[in-house]
Chains A and B, each alone.
Chain A
Amino acid sequence: MSPLWSAQMIAFFLISLFILACAVMMLSFRKVVYMALAVGGVFIGCAALYILLGAEFVGIAQVVVYAGAITILILFAIMLTNHEATEPEEPWTVRKALAAVGCFLLGVTLLFVIRGQAWPQGDPSVDVNQGMSNTLAIGEALFKSYMIPFELVSLLLTVALVGAVILAQQRKGDQ
């Protein structure tokens, strides 16, 4: 069986198609709630890709955090504020057409650069995790090599949380 038609390859194409379809739907929907659901689809598709690549921990975390928590959070935010909101149809302008051309050119450039390059091939006989399971290796990296950025992320989350409270509080005071 040629490598192009192995089961993994077919799964990859199907998942990619699903992700792209969800992303396009997210952009083309006019109702905010549908957009949030489409984003959820993108997240689930990405999780499937991660699992296909053998990164099961990242895949599950993706489902739990993004597809679960974040999509639901977005939905809650929409329901609590203005769930009837729809985006108005916008006509095509010269500016939008130019932006589309620019995006297309950027995409083509990226594609050519990526396809035109012989990428480094990993050696399948070397175990990058040194015998540990994926989850264990991630934990080791996170709490040993990446200790400092890990602690800084907690600082970042504090700032984001406090910032969100400040902005929301003032919005309430304004009304």
Chain B
Amino acid sequence: MPDLIHAHYFVTMGPLLIVTATAFIVMVLEFCLPRVDARVWLGLSILGTLAAVVTAAVHAGQRALTLNSVVQDAFSAVFSLVILGTTLLILWFALDFARREPQAPKEHPYLILFAVAGALTMASAVDLVTLYVGLELLSVASYVLVGVRRQSARSTEGAVKYLLMGSIGSAVLLYGMSFIYGLTGSTNLYDLGQQGMMLWTNYPAVTVLAFLLMLCGMGFKLSLVPFHAWTPDTYAGAPGPVSALLATLSKTAGFALLLRMLLFIFNGAPQVYVWAGVISAATMVVGNLAALPQRHMKRMLAFSSVAQAGYLLVPFALFGASGYQDWIALFDSLVFYLVAYTFMTVGAFAVIWWVSRQTRSFDASVLDGLARRNPWLAGALTVFLLGLAGMPLTAGFVGKLYLLIDTVHLHEVWLGVLLFLTSAVSFYYYFGWIRRMFQPAVSDAELAGTVLAADAGVFTFGLQFDNPPITPHPGDEHWQDDVEGVRVSAAPDETGASDQQVGDGSAGTDARPGIVLQTLIAVCVIGTLVLGVAPAVLLHGLWAVGWYQ
């Protein structure tokens, strides 16, 4: 019988306890002092997260198991640190968001922290029940975060779709878990790990069924094809920081849960992992092809994140074909790509949020001439897009290279070839944005036309490239003010027509991003470049943690 008093709660659940305590403190204080600026609560949340990071780092080398349900091992240490780092980026993003949009809901800080508590549980639990409760904690907090924006039909639409699809995903996942529980009578992953071989030899059909149900259930949460339909609407409806949270933190936690659950339960059944390869292939192909015709920037990033989830699923297809020693390389590749993806995606969402806030539109045409208006933002976004596409010298390239090497090494070359080919497709839409930023600006009439067309919901194949609006402007100094003036004056007309704008009415007043957002973008750029030039920085850290120690 477990000892309730003398368990190592702080070693195994330290970050979780700190984050939860911070969330409750922020929540109660926010209820008591409703007039205080939301940034104070965000600052408090950042402090709490920092304390959790310190705790996680201090305990990274220790190993302990609490009450058979929460563990401190290499998995939980690494994934907890990644999750907490992502949390810092997102809270930092939310800090600038709250400053620019005082009418933004104040509930963000503690809901984000509750979501993080769920994510940390998913990273460190070794019991199916605990894992599931962590997943639901993350999901419920995310549903509310998506739907929290007032007076926005898009926000509500995104939240309802996310809620329904997420609930179906939970149900499917639970159904799969119930088969495993029925066969073994245990929910503990260590027990299940010892029975893995028995499961596969005695009950092959049910094992495959359970694997598929669990993978598909998590597929809803990770927006894998064919369970990705909610993704674009939800990302487009959510406020900037929340979209970034859904795209990065929730995926990191989801992959952590999937990794631990599948590896422990199905370690004796190498054949079932083929299905992960099938879903990964479908996700890479459909995600990249669906991103091609998108003009709405957040929707394109959503499809891009679907495609990236496909790349992240590649290691899962390789677990069956390899032994325990090869798994280390797979863990390294997965974590490396997750970290790289987190930097690039949070950065891209931050830049997109800023640009669309200035121009009051999410249409990709607002990127036209960004390099002239704001070279620093354009440069940063170029780095993120190149990284997401997988160009050398960025973290995305190194991450994809590791995945490719893994597929060749473990004789699943077709997945590697598909990864390469779909990345080539993705160059088309990422470079479309880069071209827009660096080409000379559109004429005013054409700009108004494209914005209206986008608002009316015209998303046509190839439209982006069919009307190359290259109109060389004489007198560059005047041109810039000209276009700015038109955009600001055009803003009120659009306010009534569409509800995809982010701001409250004070947009367009400050042309430069504040120091908070600049720091965030700079951190993401540095992360993307450093990991691209010197990947050893992260790999040595992973090596020091030691996956099997």
Co-complex (A, B)? yes
Q: Are A167 and B140 closer than 8 Å at their CB atoms?
A: no
In the complex, which residues 302-335 of chain B have their Cβ closer than 8 Å to any Cβ of chain A?
A: none
Q: Is the CB of A166 within 8 A of B144?
A: yes
Task: Say yes or no: A113 contacts B105, CB within 8 Å.
Answer: no
Of B62-70, B92-100, B383-391, B426-434, the one contacting chain A is: B62-70
Hey, which chain A residues are within 8 Å of B141, CB to CB?
A: 159, 163
Subset of 11 A-B contacts with CB under 8 Å: A144-B67, A145-B2, A145-B69, A147-B67, A148-B70, A152-B130, A156-B118, A159-B114, A159-B144, A170-B148, A174-B151
Bound state CA distance, A58 and B175, in angstroms? 19
Q: Are B137 and A156 in contact (CB under 8 A)?
A: yes
> How many Å from the CB of B38 to the closest CB on chain A?
14
Q: Contact: A120 with B130, CB < 8 Å?
A: no
A173 within 8 A of B: yes
CA distance A146 to B4 in the complex (A): 11
Nearest Cβ in chain A — how far from B199, in angstroms?
10
Residue of A nearest to B134 (CB): A152
Q: Which residues does chain A contribute within 8 Å of B27, judged by CB atoms? A: 162
Select one of B70, B143, B202 contacting A163, CB under 8 A.
B143
Cβ < 8 Å to B, chain A residues 98-123: 109-110, 113-114, 116-117, 119-120
The size of the chain A interface, using a CB distance under 8 A, is 28
- List, in ascending order, chain B residues with CB within 8 A of A173's CB: 150
Query: Does A160 touch B at the CB level, under 8 Å?
Result: yes
Given A159-B111, A166-B105, A117 contacting B70 (CB threshold 8 A): no
Instruction: Decide: B4 and A144 in contact? CB cutoff 8 A.
Output: yes
Known: A155-B117, A159-B111. A148 touches B67 (CB 8 A): yes
Mask: chain A, 18-40; 1 = CB below 8 Å from B; 0 = not:
00000000000000000000000
| A153 is an interface residue with CB less than 8 A from chain B | yes
* A19 CB → nearest B CB, Å: 17
Contact residues in A for B376 (Cβ distance below 8 Å): none
Determine whether A149 belongs to the interface, using a CB cutoff of 8 Å to chain B: yes
B residues in contact with A148, CB < 8 Å: 13, 66-67, 69-70, 125, 127, 130
Distance in Å from the Cβ of B257 to the closest Cβ of chain A?
A: 14
Q: Is the CB of B144 within 8 A of A144?
A: no
Q: Which residues of A contact B289 (CB under 8 A)?
A: none
List chain B residues, Cβ under 8 A from A153.
133
Complex-state Cα separation, A46 to B9, whole angstroms: 38
The listed residue (B4, B13, B137, B209) touching A110 by CB distance below 8 A is: B209
B234: interface (CB < 8 Å): no
Chain A residues with CB under 8 Å of B407's CB are none
* A152-B134, A152-B137 given; A167·B147 CB < 8 A: yes
Which residue of chain A has its CB nearest to the CB of B16? A152
Contacts of B133 in A (CB 8 A): 149, 152-153, 156
Contacts of A114 in B (CB 8 A): 206
Please measure, in the bound complex, the distance between the C-alpha atom of A109 and the C-alpha atom of B2, giving whole angstroms. 41
Q: Contact between A117 and B130 (Cβ–Cβ < 8 Å)?
A: no
Residues of A within 8 A of B80 (CB): none
Of residues 71 through 114 on chain A, the ones whose CB sits less than 8 Å from some CB of chain B are 109-110, 113-114
Q: Does B136 have its Cβ within 8 Å of any Cβ on chain A?
A: yes
The residue of chain A having its C-beta at the shortest distance from the C-beta of B20 within the complex is A155
Inter-chain CA distance A130–B147, complex, in Å, is 48
Instruction: Check if B136 sits within 8 Å of A116, measured CB to CB.
Output: no
CB distance B114 to A155 under 8 Å? yes
Asked if B171 lies at the interface with its beta carbon under 8 angstroms from chain A, I say no
Flag if A113 contacts B144 (CB, 8 Å).
no
Q: Is B121 an interface residue (CB 8 A)?
A: yes
Residues 125-175 (chain A) with a chain B CB within 8 angstroms: 144-149, 152-153, 155-156, 158-160, 162-163, 166-167, 170, 173-174
With an 8 Å Cβ cutoff, the count of chain B residues facing the other chain is 41
8 A Cβ contacts from B67-95 to A: 67-70
**Distance between Cα atoms of A156 and B141 in the complex (Å):** 9
Residue of A whose beta carbon sits closest to that of B175? A110
The distance in angstroms between the C-alpha atoms of A112 and B105, with both chains bound, is 50
Cα–Cα, bound, A144→B147 (Å): 37
- What is the minimal beta-carbon distance from A152 to any residue of chain B, in angstroms? 5
The list of the 8 closest CB pairs from A to B, nearest first, reads A163-B144, A149-B130, A152-B133, A170-B150, A149-B129, A148-B69, A149-B133, A159-B114
Q: Which of B69, B136, B144 contacts A146 (CB 8 A)?
A: B69
- A174 is contacted by which of B2, B118, B127, B150 (Cβ under 8 Å)? B150
B290 within 8 A of A: no
Among A110, A113, A156, A174, contact of B140 (Cβ-Cβ < 8 Å): A156
Query: Which residue of chain B has its CB nearest to the CB of A163?
Result: B144
Name the A residues within 8 Å of B144 (CB-CB): 159, 162-163, 166-167
Decide: A147 near B4, CB < 8 A? Known: A110-B209, A155-B114, A163-B111.
Answer: yes
CA–CA, A166 and B129, complex, Å: 28
How far in angstroms is the closest Cβ of chain A from B249? 16
B414 within 8 A of A: no
In the bound complex, do residue A159 and residue B140 qualify as a contact, i.e. CB atoms below 8 Å apart? yes
Which residue among A116, A117, A148, A155 has the maximum number of chain B CB atoms within 10 Å of its CB?
A148
| Closest Cβ–Cβ distance, residue B352 to chain A (whole Å) | 25
A30 to B144, CA, bound (A): 29
Measured CA separation A7–B130 after assembly (Å): 38
With an 8 A cutoff between CB atoms, is B183 at the interface? Answer: yes
Chain A: which residue is nearest B148 at the CB level? A166
Identify the closest chain A residue to B13 (Cβ): A148
Please determine whether A116 and B140 come into contact, CB atoms closer than 8 angstroms.
Answer: no
Which residue on A lies nearest to B210, using beta carbons?
A113
Is there an interface contact between B69 and A149, defined as CB atoms closer than 8 Å?
yes
B209 x A113 contact (CB < 8 A)? yes
Chain A residues within an 8 Å CB radius of B130? 146, 148-149, 152
State whether the Cβ of B57 lies closer than 8 Å to any Cβ in chain A. Answer: no
Name the CB-closest residue of A to B150.
A170
Report if B417 contacts A (CB, 8 A).
no
Q: Which of B1, B105, B137, B205 is the one whose CB lies under 8 Å from A117?
A: B205
Q: Is B107 an interface position by the 8 A CB rule?
A: yes
How far, in whole Å, are A151 and B133 apart by their CA atoms in the complex?
Answer: 10
**B203 on interface, CB distance cutoff 8 Å:** yes
Q: Which residues of B contact A116 (CB under 8 A)?
A: 205
Given contacts A120-B183, A159-B114, 11 further A-B contacts (CB under 8 A): A144-B2, A145-B2, A145-B67, A147-B67, A148-B69, A149-B125, A152-B133, A156-B140, A163-B140, A166-B144, A170-B148
A53–chain B nearest beta-carbon distance, Å: 13
Give bound CA distance, A113 to B205, whole Å.
Answer: 6
CA distance A160 to B66 in the complex (A): 26
* A-side contacts of B151, CB under 8 Å: 174
Interface centre among A119, A155, A173 (most CB of B within 10 A): A155
